[in-house]
Amino acid sequence: MAEIHIHRVHGLAWDAALGLAQGWQIQAEQEWGLHCTTASDEGQQLIAFERPGLQGRLRVSREAFELQLTLGFLLSAYRARIEAELQQRLDGWLGPD
């Protein structure tokens, strides 16, 4: 199994950060076939997701986005490619790190 962990600080308003997270969730469900569940707490939102061979979570706080993934055996071979794609998407949302 391979792990991916990406942490990005943002300067977005809370509503804008939540909007990005919700857009990500819709894309994850519709395009990537992920099953997502959402939990909110004071000042943060957690989107847990999974599908065969992949599980993880996206935590959005008032200060940062944190994405953690665990890739199964077959997807582990594509770890670098998956991580690069995720970094590129975050760059598009938040600007380069």
User: In a structure prediction context, what are the per-residue pLDDT tens digits for the chain, which is 97 residues long?
Assistant: 899 999 999 999 999 999 999 999 999 999 989 999 999 988 899 999 999 999 999 999 999 999 999 999 999 999 999 999 988 888 888 877 6
H/E element holding 42? none
| Calpha distance 86→40 (Å, rounded) | 23
The beta strand positions in the chain, using DSSP E, are 2-9, 35-41, 44-51, 54-61, 64-71
The pTM of the full predicted model, rounded to 2 decimals, is 0.88
At residue 14, φ and ψ (nearest 5 deg) are -55, -45
| Calpha distance 32→12 (Å, rounded) | 26
Reported CATH class of domain 2-94: alpha beta
